[in-house]
Chains A and B, each alone.
Chain A
Amino acid sequence: MRKLLLLCAFLGILLSGYSTIAQDHVVTGKVTSSEDGTALVGVSVQVKGSSQGVNSNADGEYRISVSPNATLVFSFVGMSRKEVVVGNQTVINVELGTDNQQLSEVVVTGFGSQIKREVTGNIAKIKGSDITNIPAVSIESALQGRAAGVVINQGSGKLGQGIQVRVRGASSLSASSQPLYVIDGIPVTSTDQSSFGGATNPLADINFNDVESVEVLKDASAAAIYGSRAANGVVLITTKRGNVGKTNISFNYQFGVSNPTRKVPFLSPKQYVDFYRMAAGNADRLDDIDPSDPGSSTAYMESFFESYSLGRYNNGVNEALNSGADYTRFVQSSDLATGTNWQDEAFRKNAGSQQADLTFSGGNEKTSFYISGQYLNQTGIIIGNNFERITGRINLDHKVSNILSIGMNMSLAHTLNKRLSGDRQFNNPIQAAALTPLSPAYDPTTGLPTGTPPGNTDVPNYYNPLINLGNIIQNQEVIRNLSNVYGQINILPSLKFRSELGIDVLSQQEERYFNSKTIRLTGQQNGTGDNLYTGVINYNTNNYFNFDKSFDLHTLSATVGMSYQNSATKANSVSAINFPSDAYRSIENAGTISGGSSSTTNFRFLSYFLRANYKFNDRYLLSASGRIDGSSRFGKNSKYGFFPAVSAGWVISEESFLKSNTNTAISFLKLRGSYGLTGNAEIGNFPSLGLYSSANYAGTGGQAPIQLANPNLKWETTTQADFGLDFGFLNNRINGEFDYYVKKTSDLLLNVNVPGTTGFYTQTRNVGSLENKGFELVINSQNFVGAFQWSTSLNLATNRNKITNIQKQIVEAGISSMSRAVEGQPIGTFFTVEYAGVDPTNGDALYYKNAANADGTIDRSTTNVYSQAQRVVVGNAIPKLTGGLNNTFSYKGIDLSVFLNGVAGNKINFYGVGQYSSANGIYEDNQTADQMNAWTSTNTNTKVPEARLFYSNGNNPSSRYIQDGSYLRLRTVTLGYNLPQTVVNRLKLKGIRVYLTGQNLLTWTKYTGWDPEVNADDIVSSVAQGYDFYTPPQAKTFLGGINIKF
């Protein structure tokens, strides 16, 4: 309550602090472009230090009543800002030049906005125009590599799948490290809602062509206004609004084709037979059994070849193999008579995608609008994968009077994602790579994919993912409505009140069905199906005052307000088996209902926030902000948290010693620093309570304890210090920023291991700390100006993550627990046995013992007994350096942009694939081609151990499978041509643009798997990073498009 009183007192001060302003002087004028003299429509003409302002009309003219001592500020997106002292002038005509400085840009800050040059925190801004029409389904994919310190990993090439975003490193071990997403002021549902096949991405419901700008709040000063949810950064997405002027109509259509970025070479049928004969022979030698014995591995393998080739092995294929005949035909896809290149079967060739956009925008002085619609259909590069979305948006603003303005944003989306199973499931199509290439893809007796009943369902060696097609449905259908209304009252010229009420409705239907043909996968004779509904209704209201006033050299702006959010999730599901026949797939038709459930969960946040910015003499900047956050998620002993931040800036270039006419080299220089607290509340909804839940048995209701209480549980606290330098040289043709940050997170929300004998596994506690430190550099440069323009923007960021204290907790994750949180090491550390290569004398895999000797040294001797080797840190999955480089060129109507991004210093764990497919023939899985280099008595200098059927020789978890994951990728290349105005005019149009875009055209990496941008969807967690498990690669896309403006 004391906090509330403080808040009221603050408001009182604000309200009493204004004075009346005489407004008896009328100024008129016209705003034009300095480049071509054309009238500029919708330019903001603002009285400096107040909220009073107008926009220029369709002819570029404005009219405003001011006091004579006022200063008018003219600003327009993409143009440099101009200030004019009114004095006794009554007509002020202004020319605005193209802004090449980015310093006068307006930056959205959360509950307000600020001019870039006055920002004292660290906010990365990405313009919507930079990401328009990128061939991706969700906005994060498009943002990849475009902001320093914002590291995006798409994880896989599956469409609409969850995407990992890390702003200045991961800051949690058990809670989420994903940023908070706020769209037009409303925190939106961004967490996974899917119930199968890995995480999906609720942001894929957003048409990012509607986005005006994306601001990423990175440091504490920028983010603290979002309090307990800001520690992972805040992503503010602002959608487009209409401008005063004639109505613009724009139509865009693009069409593309996609293929995988890479395939991994596996053994051909001939190599497969050679390899497994060798492996079986070696096993017989170890077993001391005669290969001609019917019980020998050799005999087993020969019969395996025969069975799995559906009898073709001894009847044709075998002869061909043994005669050294032409094997090239074996690697031809789906050659019924011989072998199969299974990997080719898993990928679509030239998967098509198309997208059509239609937008209308415009308005007059009272009302403006932005209306858009989009249809997008992307076919995945993996068989069975497809993403389709229809979206519409209306953004309206209306000025009721000089005092009151109102508006709304509404978007509606319908998405249909035809999904794939999780990477670890046998029906993940990429797992087909492990099938024996001797098996035909299609059974010649039935013409159906091999393994489909009535054919032999035990061939090939695992489930044949080709059976998925037509026999499996895995649809996720979402209807998403994201709407908000606002009202704004201009109480005084310097004081505004804004109230926003938003609702984010996510309505998701998942339908899964596997018919009787998939029996090998499901074990169900007569099919199985699920139907799941999930609804998330998320209300939010923001109510706040903005105060903005100048006195002489002082400018003070302040924001104070509250917000309240209530998000409720309801879900229900039903599953069934025993369908009458494959003609039926509705649960209604099923013979047996095999399961059902319903559930409800919700969370609430109640918050009060305050921010004040003070500027003196245009050069000294001070800012303070704070938020009090209460949440239903926190324990009863810590319901409310306080998150303050301060920051300061010094515009050195305004000082006389730099601001001389002789100094043209340095045009802008600002030093800034910030310090503050933010929190992370992504801990689930009821982690603090001791809970019982249902424990039913054989149809009788039962209950059991499921969770230990912790009434002291609270948010994670992150303190962050940021030091930055903003600079501009040569009239700001070269400008940029440089930052160093130290981000320390304490009270980690950790699922602390408790002894299993308690009957529990973990308890969520606030234990331990970690830190992230790093440098960020952004440079924008205009290399050529004039007719031929070339500009470059570069961003680079380093991040050093370190777990500083976890109080001896052992937190492991990933395949065979190969990832571990280790004190003194980054999150995502691989902790496993160190591989020492192959014993040249016998082909045994060797491991370093790495045991501590009595004298404290480490025993670096090797052993072929896996259990004698100690696990050690062998690298980590977090990149040390990330960056992006964009070059744009334009000449007359032609423009070209070339965008590269890359990461360096991270490792990828290939064990998910390698334990089966680079595993010396322990199982009958097809092997990666490098296994042909296995040790033999004549090939002793190799890292690949001897092949031994059914023996583990090097396929235990070890550093053998941990590879360098650095990559540099030619992410996007776009070549565009704007038809000459003369041609366009003749067609009675405003503009025509045609363009070609290439996505992921080239990748440079040492990684030998499919794609270095990988995080297997059903393995990834905070600790388990960088796993590959036959994970589908990214798409390489070529597309062409046309844009017509009416």
Chain B
Amino acid sequence: MKRHSFLQLTAAMLTGFMVWGCGDRLNVDPVQSVDEDKALQTSSDVLGAVVGCYDGYGSTEFGSGAVQYIADLLADDGDVRFAGTFATHQQFWRKTMIATNSQISLTWRNGYSTINRTNNVLENLGKLDTDAQRAAAEGEVLFIRGLSYFNLVRLFAKAWGDGDNTVNPGVPLVLTATKAPITEANSVPRNSVSAVYTQIIADLTKAEADLKNGPVTANGANAAAAAAILSRVYLMQGNYAAARDAANRVIASGLYSLEADYSKVFNDYKNRRGVPSSESIFSTLITIQDGTNSLLTYYGSSANGGRNDVRIQAKLLNEYAAYGDKVRGNFFIQDGIGRIFTAKYQDQYANVTQVRLAEMYLTRAEANFMLNTQVGATPLEDINRIRSRAGLAALTSITRSDILKERKLELIFEGEYLHDLRRTRRNISSSILYNDARLVLPIPQREIDTNTSLVQNPGY
């Protein structure tokens, strides 16, 4: 019997061993991510979140080229041929988009992900150490939010003035940070085009004021960047005076100068080890370690890391030739079997320019021309400045169509041509008019399915 008591004791001890509390061990914290309750506690946490907004804006599917190439492929009428195998991108070029196009869905998502990041910062500005930091951080994220909404409303809604701006649906305005749980309140409808523009102008105007002493983050946007985007917004609205003044503020800041050599405006890594050109006002920065230049992906030749997708056609080359434009007209490369690509995007690590000084001269010229004013310079002086860099003789008189032609040949493949055509009511082709429904992206089907209060665009 003694043996049995010993064994009973053993069994009891083993039982105790088994039930030895391991319960606490089930609380495992993640290592390379941080619980949301602990993420935004200090001033430096919030500054980190500001940097995160640039990262969001620069995502591959948004501000690293997608916003630009989608518009340019839509605007094309035979200047290029999109010969790539991605059906999503073929749809842009052929103007045959469908609501399930996954690229469109990604662009929408990345835009709003960026906006949510900015809203998180705005709600935590109080945690920053100084008022100066607070102002600059607010200015930076409002700049990103305003620019993001501007990109979205230009792609997903009818152009300003194409019908009634107060009735035309724009994009949903979300101005608070999202927290779980997700409820019906998160199914927000589209605000009108005019409401979205009002918000964009408010964000950018506040940003320009907040940033008068510069940004708080390294490589952050400054007041001139906010003014540059503002000039674009006003130009889109046909508010030439405000567009002219905003462009003039950028030029007058003296922070930027035209590159003497047109080819040096692009391919930042190959030209300057990644430093943006002297005329870059705001660029999405790409490094070897971080970011993808998606303009390179589609416009670049495979020898430079691209997909050989956008092939330049004779029509565009002839347009440059007829213009006598030897600098910009020769800014193309040809591969081993004769395919021609733009030379603007031949560098995997080049930054993606969002706005540059040449556009400010062109905008100021156009606005001055429309208003018959000479704020900063005469239209002729501004245009000839651009022409002279391109090796073209100075004009002695100009028309609006000269200005618009110059704008196309200078800024082609930089994401503005579609919007220029739509705001100036010039048709893409005889069959695709400036206000064709096919030029407006569909609201992604996934969003319509998830949020029933969204209204689809006509034609989808």
Q: Give the distance in Å from the alpha carbon of A923 to the alpha carbon of B87 in the complex.
A: 11
B108 within 8 A of A: yes
Q: Is A581 an interface residue (CB 8 A)?
A: no
Q: Does A755 contact B (CB under 8 A)?
A: yes
Q: Give Cα A705 to B49, complex, Å.
A: 9
Taking a contact as CB atoms under 8 Å apart, the answer to whether B10 and A491 are in contact is yes
Given A295-B314, A754-B450, A761:B336 Cβ within 8 A = no
Q: A702-B48, A709-B36 are known contacts. Are A632 and B26 too (CB-CB below 8 A)?
A: yes
A596 CB contacts on chain B under 8 angstroms: 289
Establish whether residues A691 and B33, one from each chain, have CB atoms under 8 Å apart when the complex forms: yes
B305-A697 in contact (CB<8A): no
Which of B55, B102, B339, B449 counts the most chain A CB atoms within 10 A? B55
Known: A699-B287, A703-B34, A810-B450. A756 touches B51 (CB 8 A): no
CA distance A631 to B23 in the complex (A): 9
Q: Would A705 and B182 be within 8 Å (CB), given that A458-B335, A698-B218 are in contact?
A: no
Q: Judging by beta carbons under 8 Å apart, are A543 and B115 in contact?
A: no
B242 to chain A, nearest CB (A): 29
> Nearest Cβ in chain A — how far from B437, in angstroms?
12
Contact B26 A639 (CB under 8 A): yes
Interface: B188 (CB within 8 A): yes
Q: Are A755 and B302 in contact (CB under 8 A)?
A: no
Find the B residue at minimum CB distance from A575: B289
A491: nearest residue on chain B (CB-CB)?
B7
Interface centre among A457, A495, A692 (most CB of B within 10 A): A692
Measured CB to CB, the nearest residue on chain B to A712 is B181
* A358 beta carbon closer than 8 Å to chain B: no
A604 on the B face (CB < 8 A) = yes
Chain A CB within 10 A, most for which of B10, B18, B32, B180? B18
Q: How far is the CA of A690 from the CA of B261 in the complex (A)?
A: 50
CB-based contact A456/B336 at 8 Å? yes
- A459:B449 contact, CB within 8 angstroms: no
Q: Are the C-beta atoms of B51 and A685 separated by less than 8 Å?
A: no
A566-B25 contact, Cβ under 8 Å, with A599-B31, A697-B219: yes
* Chain A CB within 8 A of B330 CB: no
Given contacts A458-B339, A692-B39, A693-B34, contact A7 B51 (CB under 8 A): no
Q: For the side of the interface on B, what is the size category?
A: 35 or more
**B9-50 vs A, Cβ < 8 Å mask (1 yes, 0 no):** 011101101110011011110111111110110000100111
Q: Is B304 an interface residue (CB 8 A)?
A: yes
Please, how many angstroms separate the alpha-carbon atoms of A640 and B151 in the complex?
47
A760 to B178 Cα, complex, angstroms: 9
- List chain A residues, Cβ under 8 A from B280: none
Q: Are B116 and A760 in contact (CB under 8 A)?
A: yes
Kindly state whether residue B131 has any CB partner on chain A within 8 Å: no
Name the contact of B447 in the complex, choosing from A489, A564, A702, A756 (C-beta under 8 A): A756
Contact B289 A758 (CB under 8 A): no
C-alpha gap A758/B85 in the complex (Å):
32
- Say which residue of B28, B306, B335, B449 sits within 8 Å of A523 (CB atoms): B306
Query: Which residue of chain A has the shortest Cβ distance to B188 in the bound complex?
Result: A757
B18 touches A562 (CB 8 A): yes
Assuming A15-B8, A307-B338, is B219 touching A523 (CB within 8 A)? Answer: no
In the assembled complex, A689 has its CB within 8 A of some CB on chain B:
yes
B120 touches A758 (CB 8 A): no
The verdict on B405 contacting chain A, using a C-beta distance below 8 Å, is no
Q: Is the CB of B446 within 8 A of A754?
A: no
Given the contacts A11-B15, A543-B18, A702 and B51 also touching, CB distance less than 8 Å? yes
Tell me, rounded to whole Å, the shortest Cβ–Cβ distance linking A590 to chain B: 11
Q: Does A968 contact B (CB under 8 A)?
A: no
Among B120, B303, B336, B348, contact of A459 (Cβ-Cβ < 8 Å): B336
Candidates A457, A595, A812, A956; contact of B303 at CB < 8 Å: A457
Cα-based distance from A950 to B84 in the complex (angstroms): 10
B197 to chain A, nearest CB (A): 18
Number of interface residues of A (CB under 8 A): 95
What residue in chain B is nearest A810 (Cβ atoms)?
Answer: B449
- Residues in A whose Cβ lies below 8 Å from that of B17: 543
Residue B139 at the chain A interface, CB threshold 8 Å: no
User: Across the two chains, which residue of chain B brings its CB closest to A603?
Assistant: B28
Which chain A positions have C-beta within 8 A of B339?
458
Interface residues of A in 608-630 (CB under 8 A from B): 608, 630
Answer whether residue A524 sits at the interface, using C-beta atoms and an 8 A cutoff. yes
Residues of A within 8 A of B100 (CB): 816-817
Is the Cβ of B303 less than 8 Å from the Cβ of A520?
yes
Judging by beta carbons under 8 Å apart, are B55 and A599 in contact? no
Q: Identify the closest chain A residue to B32 (Cβ).
A: A599
Q: B285 — which chain A residues lie within 8 A by C-beta?
A: 697-698
Report yes or no: B186 in contact with A758, Cβ–Cβ below 8 A.
yes
User: Per-position contact with B for A903-940: 1 when CB-CB < 8 Å, else 0?
Assistant: 00000000000011000000100000000000000000
B96 at the interface (CB under 8 A from A): yes
Is B174 in the interface zone, CB < 8 Å from A?
A: yes
Inside 8 A of A630's CB, which chain B residues have their CB?
A: 23, 26
A469 within 8 A of B: no
List A contacts of B302 (CB < 8 A).
457-458, 463, 519-520, 523
Q: Does A594 contact B (CB under 8 A)?
A: yes
Chain B residue at smallest Cβ distance from A761? B109
Give every chain A residue within 8 A of B188 (Cβ-Cβ).
755, 757
Verify A698–B219 contact, CB threshold 8 A: yes
A561-B18 in contact (CB<8A): yes
Residues in A neighbouring B177, C-beta threshold 8 A: 705, 759
Question: A1001 CA to B406 CA in the complex, in Å?
Answer: 68
Smallest CB gap from B111: residue in A? A756
Closest to B113 in A: A759
Q: B187 on the interface (CB 8 Å rule)?
A: yes
B52 sits at the interface (CB 8 A) = yes
A124 CB-CB contact with B under 8 Å = no
User: A7-B19, A8-B19, A757-B186 are known contacts. Are A702 and B50 too (CB-CB below 8 A)?
Assistant: yes
A841–B98 alpha-carbon span in the complex (Å)? 27
Does A789 belong to the interface (CB within 8 Å)? Answer: no
Neighbouring A residues of B36 by C-beta, 8 Å? 689-692, 705, 709
Q: Give chain A interface residues in 670-706, CB to chain B under 8 Å.
A: 685-686, 689-706
Contact of A759 among B4, B33, B115 (CB under 8 A): B115
Tell me if A446 counts as interface (CB < 8 A to partner B).
Answer: no
A308 to B339, CA, bound (A): 12
Q: Chain B: which residue is nearest A16 at the CB level?
A: B8
B182 x A697 contact (CB < 8 A): no
Q: List B contacts of A307 (CB < 8 A).
A: 337-338
Query: Considering residues B112, B348, B450, which has the most beta carbons from chain A within 10 angstroms of its beta carbon?
Result: B450
Q: How far is the CB of B84 from chain A (nearest CB, A)?
A: 9
| A773 to B81 Cα, complex, angstroms | 52
Contact with B along A739-761 (1 / 0, CB 8 A): 00000000000000111111111
Interface string of B74-104 (1 = CB under 8 A from A): 0000000101010100100000101010100
CA distance A755 to B7 in the complex (A): 63
Could you tell me the distance between the alpha carbons of A564 and B23 in the complex, rounded to whole angstroms?
A: 10
B217: Cβ under 8 A from any A Cβ: yes
Q: Is A710 positioned at the interface, with any CB of B under 8 Å from its CB?
A: yes
How many Å lie between the Cα of A602 and that of B181 in the bound state? 26
Minimum C-beta distance from A527 to chain B (A): 13
Residues of B within 8 A of A695 (CB): 51-52, 55-56, 117
Tell yes or no: B170 within 8 A of A by CB: no
- Complex interface: chain A residues within 8 A of B108 (CB): 756
Extra contacts besides A520-B303, A692-B35 (4): CB < 8 Å? A695-B56, A704-B120, A756-B112, A759-B177
> Can you offer 24 A-B residue contacts whose CB atoms are under 8 A?
A457-B302, A459-B336, A497-B11, A499-B14, A543-B14, A562-B19, A631-B26, A690-B35, A690-B180, A697-B52, A698-B218, A699-B289, A700-B217, A701-B48, A703-B48, A704-B49, A704-B120, A705-B177, A705-B178, A753-B449, A756-B113, A759-B114, A817-B100, A952-B90
Q: Which residues of B contact A (CB under 8 A)?
A: 4, 7-8, 10-12, 14-15, 17-19, 22-23, 25-28, 30-37, 39-40, 45, 48-56, 58, 81, 83, 85, 87, 90, 96, 98, 100, 102, 105, 108-109, 112-117, 119-120, 172, 174, 177-182, 186-188, 217-219, 285, 287-291, 300, 302-306, 308, 314, 335-339, 348, 444, 446-447, 449-451
